[in-house]
């Protein structure tokens, strides 16, 4: 009886297992069918989206709106009723359709469609939507045709469900239900799709009672086993359901057959079983129960003890050993899988979340195998497109190609490699690339971390240029001292000699040539003085700008005729002046010099003619602009922009454009001081100058002149004239012997008494013995003491003694080397005789007016 009971238990267990296996097989078939159906639906919908976008972007789609007879649309996903493709006007009328309306039928099927207003503005992908053509629920995909209308594709949901059922229903006659992403609406069902398509789930009996096992009931209440898969790109849920009763019926039939066979076998082997069951069957049954319990519970680290024959007992020990080994293997595998998953998760988070573009490429072939989201956004290419490229495809055209062999043999880590990369929109950027060797998906790769340094490199170039111009300005200012002394000597002696010879030249032709030569020397000296002034303007150190409150528009307008005459007939001058100019404070002569220099440079850059445009506009410089343009300061400015259509400049020329004596003109055709002078004038006025140029695209020069709040015009005073001296004693202190001699001679000829000294010590000795000194005329920088210190020492004994300072240095340098009193008279060398005598007259007359009484002799 025990043998029979055991056999019966085995039959029951087999029946239970068969039912379990039948359920599992049905659920597996349903899951497989759901995956296949979801994949097919996803592919069909992707085709529909691609078709809609292709039609919308087609060059010939505009012709359909103009001539509907040109319509040649076709639409099919495998069946005649799968849907249709329409080209729709903004008012909802049909311009073209893959399913033309029958003759006589109206073409305004969508004029009242609820989806039409949104679809005209942006692409749509909506389901379920009622197809106004067929009256059936459909999946709507639209794409906008700018300015014309839209393309709309309707995929019939009933046909979509029927296609899934016909293809993947199989022998189990699976039911297919397609719902929205949140599962609230039945999009379609097979069979009977026309009844259930577009029905809310709450209005049916459809429900999944057990999510893990897939047990549920269909819309009619029939129990089913469901497999579920999401449709890629839409989020729809595809559920394939097998009839649970039908699946279990086969298991029940199998169980009955097995029970009959086992019963016959029991009857046939009853006698033999009764003999051996006590010794073999019962122990093996216990062993089987123990093993099954261990595997079912998951606790494999257990001891399987079986009593009985030696073979059975040893089998139990072997099972114990096997279960322990399997348990250890499973634990190690689970730990390894958990660690691998953690590493993969950490890597993916670091890779995807990196703010820098990161590209992984094969070290041998340079094929890109991975790119993070930052790289996709930076290069403006979809990830799929990047994965079809090589790393060299990211480089700009002029960038040298990276050989695959060189990459494979490179160092494990290559840091901060400068490169120029090309974005999808054609923008070329400067980047710093750090690459390191690693492995990815079983292949040897290099991971490139890319940092955009375009803005940093631009700022560094601008700072280098600004520093170079500042250094050149300091050099020009420093040279001015000795150069101005030499010019003073040359101009002084040549001028006096020419003046002395003028009567003789007028009376005797033999002296006329010499007088003319001396006149040319004086003219050359004047030109050299003007050249020095240009250098000082570049150095922002010219000490005597005659600033006035100006209207920049007036300056440009007044120079219009002069500029047109200087440009010639083949160059068109266009002026665009702002209607509301802000006042500026500047030297009008220097401002005119800026405009003339810019116009002449533009003329030389347009030998074949062109257009010169001068624009003015009020602007406000903010912190962002100031950070991008070294030397610029925040505030309000009047912008003067001069643009030509000439040959333009390359980068190397552009970086040196403001340097003095740098010119691209042929020898003898330019001094190279035009732009340098402009730079000095503008920056000395507190403004900013900037050049934009590209070869073949012309040049634009922008100058920013600071706005002033002082709206008063300075009074114009007539030019002062000097009077002859009345024997006043002037103490002259100058360390240059030649310049001291010519200055002394000029003063003597003008009627002054001169006490000359080469050093401060000599000057103090002369002052100590002569109480009638009316004026101190001193160089600022002297070997033993500076001029201001000498003046201060003399003022202690002679309060109010007037002082005139001379210097060949600029005010910028003097400010750091000698403290000149505020309001003091400073003459910058070289000083003409007229300028010297005029200044002496003004200072002496001012002193006399302050202290009435007889003029000192």
pLDDT tens digits for range 546-604: 577 888 888 888 877 777 877 878 888 888 899 888 998 877 767 777 787 788 888 88
Query: Count of CB atoms within 10 A of residue 343's CB?
Result: 10
Which of 219, 234, 268 represents a domain boundary (last residue)?
268
Which carries the bigger pLDDT value, residue 310 or residue 539? 310
User: What is the Cα–Cα distance from 504 to 133, expressed in whole angstroms?
Assistant: 115
User: What is the Cα–Cα distance from 700 to 644, expressed in whole angstroms?
Assistant: 7
Q: Are residues 64 and 19 in the same domain?
A: yes
CATH number at residue 227: 3.30.450.20
Q: pLDDT digits over 50-73, tens only?
A: 888 888 888 888 888 888 777 888
Is residue 212 a part of any domain in this protein? yes
pLDDT at 856: 44
Is residue 654 a part of any domain in this protein? yes
Q: Are residues 614 and 745 in the same domain?
A: no
- Predicted structure pTM score: 0.34
User: Which residues lie below 8 Å from residue 561, measured CB to CB, with a gap of 6+?
Assistant: none
User: What is the Cα–Cα distance from 178 to 197, expressed in whole angstroms?
Assistant: 9
Three-state DSSP at 717 gives coil
Is residue 313 a part of any domain in this protein? no
The 3-class secondary structure across 78-108, one letter per residue, is CCCCCEEEEEECCCCCEEEECCCCCCCCCCC
User: Which residues lie below 8 Å from residue 580, measured CB to CB, with a gap of 6+?
Assistant: 618
Q: Which residues of 660-696 are buried (b: 16+ CB within 10 A; e: fewer)?
A: beebeeeeeebeebbbbbbbbbbbbbbbbbbbebeee
Q: Are residues 746 and 651 in the same domain?
A: no
Q: Which residues of 452-477 are buried (b: 16+ CB within 10 A; e: fewer)?
A: ebeeeeeeeebeebeeebeebbeebb
Q: Which helix (H) or strand (E) holds 381?
A: none
Q: What is the DSSP string of 107-157?
A: S-TTTT-TTHHHHHHS--EEEEEE-TTTSSEEEEEEEEETTTEEEEEEEEH
Query: Count of CB atoms within 10 A of residue 835's CB?
Result: 14
Say whether pLDDT at 851 is over 70: no
| Cα→Cα distances 210→223, 224, 603, 773, Å | 12, 11, 86, 118
Q: Are 394 and 418 in contact (CB under 8 A)?
A: no
Which of 691, 706, 721 represents a domain boundary (last residue)?
706
Say whether pLDDT at 715 is over 50: no
Lowest mean pLDDT among 471-485, 565-579, 742-756, 790-804: 471-485
CATH number at residue 830: 3.40.50.2300
Q: Are residues 23 and 106 in the same domain?
A: yes
Q: pLDDT digits over 369-411, tens only?
A: 888 888 898 898 898 988 899 998 888 877 666 554 445 556 7
User: Which residues lie below 8 Å from residue 459, measured CB to CB, with a gap of 6+?
Assistant: 627, 628, 630
Is residue 259 a part of any domain in this protein? yes
- Percentage of residues of the chain with pLDDT beyond 90: 5
Q: Are residues 693 and 803 in the same domain?
A: no
Q: Are residues 174 and 92 in the same domain?
A: yes
- Band of the pLDDT at 723, cuts 50, 70, 90? confident
- Band of the pLDDT at 308, cuts 50, 70, 90? low
Q: Which of 421, 450, 444, 452 is nearest to 361 (CA)?
A: 444
Q: Are residues 666 and 739 in the same domain?
A: no
pLDDT at 752: 92
What is the DSSP code (8-state) at residue 719? P
Q: Are residues 52 and 143 in the same domain?
A: yes
Q: Are residues 446 and 383 in the same domain?
A: yes
User: What is the Cα–Cα distance from 560 to 617, expressed in whole angstroms?
Assistant: 17
Three-state DSSP at 229 gives strand
CATH number at residue 642: 3.30.565.10
Is residue 776 a part of any domain in this protein? yes
User: Which residues lie below 8 Å from residue 324, measured CB to CB, with a gap of 6+?
Assistant: 300, 301
Q: Which of 218, 196, 198, 197 is nearest to 207 (CA)?
A: 218
Say whether pLDDT at 273 is over 80: no
Which of 643, 672, 706 represents a domain boundary (last residue)?
706
- Band of the pLDDT at 468, cuts 50, 70, 90? low
Is residue 701 a part of any domain in this protein? yes
Mean pLDDT of 627-656: 80
User: What is the Cα–Cα distance from 281 to 3, expressed in whole angstroms?
Assistant: 8
Is residue 274 a part of any domain in this protein? no
Domain that holds residue 109: 1-268
The count of domains in the chain is: 4
Q: Are 149 and 165 in contact (CB under 8 A)?
A: no
Q: Are residues 662 and 560 in the same domain?
A: yes
Q: Are residues 742 and 603 in the same domain?
A: no
Label residue 839 exposed, middle or buried (CB < 10 Å: 0-12, 13-18, 19+).
buried
Q: Are residues 769 and 677 in the same domain?
A: no
For tokens 């993916």, what's the residue?
348
What is the DSSP code (8-state) at residue 278? I
Strands 223-230, 215-217: pairing kind: antiparallel
Q: pLDDT digits over 15-42, tens only?
A: 788 778 888 888 888 888 888 888 888 8
Three-state DSSP at 425 gives coil
User: What is the Cα–Cα distance from 607 to 609, expressed in whole angstroms?
Assistant: 6
Q: Are 775 and 804 in contact (CB under 8 A)?
A: yes
Q: Are 308 and 282 in contact (CB under 8 A)?
A: yes
Q: Is 416 left (phi over 0), alpha (psi -120 to 50) or beta?
A: left
Lowest mean pLDDT among 225-234, 299-308, 435-444: 299-308
- Band of the pLDDT at 538, cuts 50, 70, 90? very low
What is the DSSP code (8-state) at residue 281? I
User: What is the Cα–Cα distance from 589 to 685, expressed in whole angstroms?
Assistant: 13
């Amino acid at each position: 009886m025990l043998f029979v009971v055991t056999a019966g238990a085995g039959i029951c267990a087999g029946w239970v297992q068969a039912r379990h296996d039948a359920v599992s097989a049905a659920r597996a078939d349903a899951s497989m069918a759901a995956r296949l159906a979801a994949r097919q639906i996803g592919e069909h919908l992707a085709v529909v989206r691609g078709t809609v976008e292709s039609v919308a972007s087609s060059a010939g789609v505009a012709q359909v709106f103009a001539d509907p007879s040109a319509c040649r649309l076709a639409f099919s996903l495998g069946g005649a009723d799968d849907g249709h493709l329409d080209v729709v006007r903004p008012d909802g009328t049909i311009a073209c359709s893959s399913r033309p309306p029958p003759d006589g039928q109206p073409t305004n099927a969508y004029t009242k469609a609820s989806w039409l207003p949104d679809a005209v503005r942006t692409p749509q992908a909506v389901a379920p939507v009622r197809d106004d053509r067929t009256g059936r629920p459909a999946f709507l995909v639209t794409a906008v045709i700018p300015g014309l209308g839209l393309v709309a594709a309707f995929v019939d949901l009933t046909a979509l469900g029927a296609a899934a059922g016909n293809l993947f229903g199989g022998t189990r006659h699976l039911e297919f239900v397609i719902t929205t992403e949140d599962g609230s609406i039945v999009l379609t069902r097979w069979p009977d799709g026309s009844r259930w398509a577009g029905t809310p789930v709450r209005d049916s009996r459809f429900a999944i009672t057990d999510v893990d096992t897939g047990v549920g009931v269909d819309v009619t209440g029939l129990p089913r086993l469901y497999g579920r898969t999401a449709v890629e790109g839409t989020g729809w849920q595809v559920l394939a359901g097998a009839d649970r009763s039908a699946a279990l019926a086969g298991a029940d039939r199998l169980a009955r057959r097995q029970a009959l066979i086992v019963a016959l076998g029991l009857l046939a082997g009853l006698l033999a079983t009764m003999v051996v069951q006590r010794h073999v069957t019962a122990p093996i049954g216990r062993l089987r129960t123990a093993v099954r319990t261990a595997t079912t519970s998951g606790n494999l680290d257990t001891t399987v003890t079986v009593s009985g024959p030696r073979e059975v007992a040893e089998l139990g020990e072997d099972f114990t050993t096997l279960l322990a080994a399997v348990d250890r293997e499973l634990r190690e595998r689970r730990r390894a899988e958990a660690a691998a998953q953690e590493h993969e998760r950490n890597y993916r988070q670091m890779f995807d979340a990196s703010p820098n573009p990161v590209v992984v490429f094969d070290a041998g072939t340079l094929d890109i195998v991975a790119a993070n989201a930052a790289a996709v956004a930076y290069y403006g290419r979809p990830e799929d497109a990047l994965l079809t490229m090589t790393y060299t495809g990211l480089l700009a055209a002029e960038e040298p190609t990276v050989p695959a062999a060189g990459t494979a043999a490179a160092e494990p880590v290559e840091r901060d490699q400068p490169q120029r990369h090309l974005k999808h929109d054609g923008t070329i950027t400067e980047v710093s690339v750090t690459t390191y060797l690693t492995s990815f998906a079983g292949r040897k790769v290099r991971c490139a971390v890319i940092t955009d340094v375009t803005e940093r490199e631009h700022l560094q170039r601008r700072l280098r240029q600004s520093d170079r111009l500042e250094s050149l300005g300091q050099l020009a200012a420093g040279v001015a001292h000795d150069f101005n002394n030499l010019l003073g000597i040359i101009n002084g002696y040549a001028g006096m000699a020419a003046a002395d010879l003028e009567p003789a030249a007028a009376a005797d032709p033999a002296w006329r040539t010499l007088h003319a030569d001396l006149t040319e020397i004086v003219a050359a000296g004047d030109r050299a003085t003007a050249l020095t002034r240009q250098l000082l303007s570049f150095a922002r150190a010219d000490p005597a700008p005659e600033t006035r409150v100006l209207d920049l528009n007036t300056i440009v307008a007044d120079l219009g005729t002069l500029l047109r005459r200087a440009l010639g007939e083949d160059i068109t001058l266009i002026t665009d002046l702002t209607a509301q100019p802000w006042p500026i404070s500047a030297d009008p002569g220097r401002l005119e010099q800026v405009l003339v220099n810019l116009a002449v440079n533009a003329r030389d850059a347009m030998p074949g003619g062109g257009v010169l445009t001068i624009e003015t506009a009020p602007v406000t410089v903010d912190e962002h602009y100031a950070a991008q343009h070294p030397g610029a300061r925040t505030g309000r400015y009047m912008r003067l922009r001069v643009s030509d259509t000439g040959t333009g400049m390359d980068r190397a020329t552009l970086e040196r454009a403001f340097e003095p004596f740098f010119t691209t003109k042929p020898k003898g055709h330019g001094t190279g001081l035009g732009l340098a002078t402009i730079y000095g004038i503008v920056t000395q006025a507190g403004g900013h100058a900037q050049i934009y140029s590209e070869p073949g695209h012309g040049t634009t020069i922008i100058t920013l002149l600071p706005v002033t709040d002082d709206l008063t015009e300075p009074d114009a005073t007539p030019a002062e004239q000097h009077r002859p001296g009345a024997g006043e004693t002037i103490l002259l202190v100058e360390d240059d012997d030649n310049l001291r001699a010519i200055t002394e001679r000029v003063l003597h000829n003008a009627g002054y008494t001169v006490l000359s000294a080469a050093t401060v010590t000599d000057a103090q000795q002369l002052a100590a013995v002569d109480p009638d000194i009316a004026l101190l005329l001193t160089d600022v920088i002297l070997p033993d003491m500076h001029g201001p210190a000498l003046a201060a020492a003399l003022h202690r004994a002679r309060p109010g003694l007037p002082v005139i300072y001379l210097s060949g240095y600029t005010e910028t340098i003097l400010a750091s080397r000698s403290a000149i009193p505020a309001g003091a008279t400073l003459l910058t060398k070289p000083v003409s005789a007229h300028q010297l005598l005029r200044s002496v007259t003004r200072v002496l007359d001012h002193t006399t007016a302050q202290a009435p009484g007889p003029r000192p002799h």
